[in-house]
Amino acid sequence: MLMYKPLRRLKLALIKDWHSHKHAPFVALLALLTILVVVAYYLNHPKAEPLADTWSYLDMVRNIETRGHLVDPWRLPGYPLLIVVVYTFAGQGNFAAVAVLQAILFVLTTLEIYLLAVLILRRAWIAFCIGLLVGPDPVLLSFIKPLMTEAFGLWLLTSLALALVAFLYTNRTTRLRFLWLTAVCALLLFLTRPEWIYLPIPLFAYLLLMEARKDHLRRLLVHALAALILLYGVLGGYIYINVTQNHFPGVTLIQNINELGKVLQYNMQDEAPEQYKQSRLILDRYVAKGIRDPYPILARESSLRVPASIPAGQYSQWIILHHPFEFLLKSAPIFFSSLTDYYQESLILPAGPFGFLLIALQYAFRVLYALNVLFTPCALIWLFLLCWRRTRNLREVQAMGAIILLICYGLAMGALGAYRGVDYMRIHILFDPLLTLVIWGTVLTGLRLKLRNFNKQYSRLSI
């Protein structure tokens, strides 16, 4: 919880309703409602839920505990280290304790979303409404309860967003602490979910752009470059250990599998040169049978799988790098369609405790989930304000621009790296609460301004 300490130094001269006595009831009620729904969801089917991918994380947990190995060609160490910590305090193999910790992280995430909304949108009631669209969401909880990385990744990304926004709202001395806190969150995030390893570059570039007209840009640039060097130094060291210890030149071999999945998804498997003729013939045979999932193919074809799926990765990378425009053109629609791709991981038991209420709540949030299509017009409104000279220096506009950057990065990584609906869902679960903040923050703020103008006009008429 060290990342919360700098928040004590966050001094804001915000809005009329930024007073603890006004926020305390909203925070308490939001926390209570979120905890009640989480407890009801867990009681509905209380057994811990390991999934197919869980066992590879548990294998890494054993490697950490018995051999001290933090580097693995299959999985990154972030989530396994979290499990090791839980086992240390709650007992070896205590799946239930891991699931409970994930529930706690989800409650913390909801409260952080409330704080983000207050900082950016300046109204406690709007922040409370947005929190209500996150905390009691069974769709999110269906990915939080299973023993997977989503809960930890969700909390890390939301904490990163909070540190980022705090950076924009604080003075030059304090903000450097938030810059480094953002870097720490980014490091933990991409050591948990590999799709976020490129995030620090556009993120720090955005922060420098926002500070371009200020006299302390040079100092900020030095710290940003130092943070980038540290982040990618750690990543480079991780890859080096993977090469020397596991004979795998990369972060995770899942990347090779996903690249093959993208090539098969776009039917680009025949666009490789003659040197890959054998691989083309193998893949064409599976495609003719309607099999485009790389996992069953690699399970049967050792020439593509051994070693570490590197042949599959080299074949796929050649196609993608030599046909970039075709690949990007076919990926562009997924950037938008993945917003509403729906998949539920943990299922509610209708006959279990609170089954009827949870299913009704799930249906309501499923309808709201379809409204994610509103992200594009809402994002365009804020980006227009970010480019408009009269509003581009407003902190709330810059903060919302940073949130939109995080979401667009996640959407781009999903479109370019995932090939199944369930994968799109798993990737954007991490930024779904931020999506809710952008969409409903825009809608409710627009409604507030409309009502304010109406009241002004009504007052004039009354006079």
Predicted local distance difference test score (pLDDT) of residue 9: 47
**227 and 119 in a common domain:** yes
Question: 219 pLDDT band (50/70/90 cuts)?
Answer: confident
**98 and 71 in a common domain:** yes
Digit-coded pLDDT (tens) for 385-394 = 999 988 988 9
Predicted local distance difference test score (pLDDT) of residue 57: 95
In-domain check, residue 303: yes
Predicted local distance difference test score (pLDDT) of residue 353: 94
**434 and 349 in a common domain:** yes
Predicted local distance difference test score (pLDDT) of residue 320: 96
In-domain check, residue 400: yes
In-domain check, residue 4: no
Distance CA 224, CA 76 (A): 25
* CB contact at 8 A, 38 and 103: yes
**202 and 88 in a common domain:** yes
Which domain-ending residue is among 288, 303, 322? 322
Which domain-ending residue is among 297, 322, 347? 322
**333 and 197 in a common domain:** yes
* Greater model confidence, 6 or 223: 223
DSSP state at residue 212: T
Q: How far, CA to CA in Å, does 185 sit from each of 158, 172, 199, 202, 238?
A: 9, 20, 11, 15, 17
Is the pLDDT reported for residue 24 higher than 60? yes
Distance CA 135, CA 110 (A): 5
Q: What is the DSSP string of 22-35?
A: HHHHHHHHHHHHHH
20's CB contacts (< 8 A; 6+ apart) are: none
Please give the residue range of the domain that contains residue 150: 17-252+329-462
Digit-coded pLDDT (tens) for 89-98 = 999 999 999 9
Question: 214 pLDDT band (50/70/90 cuts)?
Answer: low
Burial 374-396 (b: 16+ CB within 10 A, else e): bbeebbeebbebbeeeeeeeebb
Is the pLDDT reported for residue 7 higher than 80? no
**342 and 382 in a common domain:** yes
**334 and 308 in a common domain:** no
Mean pLDDT of the chain: 90
Q: Which token pair is 212?
A: 């371009």
Predicted local distance difference test score (pLDDT) of residue 226: 96
Q: How many domains does the chain have?
A: 2
Which domain-ending residue is among 302, 322, 342? 322
**431 and 303 in a common domain:** no
**147 and 54 in a common domain:** yes
**228 and 207 in a common domain:** yes
In-domain check, residue 7: no
Predicted local distance difference test score (pLDDT) of residue 21: 59
In-domain check, residue 6: no
In-domain check, residue 3: no
Digit-coded pLDDT (tens) for 133-153 = 999 999 999 999 999 999 999
Predicted local distance difference test score (pLDDT) of residue 412: 96
In-domain check, residue 11: no
Digit-coded pLDDT (tens) for 45-100 = 999 999 989 999 999 999 999 998 999 999 999 999 999 999 999 999 999 999 99
Distance CA 173, CA 190 (A): 27
Predicted local distance difference test score (pLDDT) of residue 16: 44
Q: What is the DSSP string of 402-428?
A: HHHHHHHHHHHHHHHH--SHHHHHHHH
**194 and 102 in a common domain:** yes
* Greater model confidence, 381 or 21: 381
* Greater model confidence, 29 or 175: 29
Cut 0.85: pTM above it: yes
In-domain check, residue 5: no
**345 and 318 in a common domain:** no
Predicted local distance difference test score (pLDDT) of residue 308: 85
Predicted local distance difference test score (pLDDT) of residue 211: 81
Predicted local distance difference test score (pLDDT) of residue 245: 92
Predicted local distance difference test score (pLDDT) of residue 17: 44
Is the pLDDT reported for residue 417 higher than 50? yes
DSSP state at residue 350: T
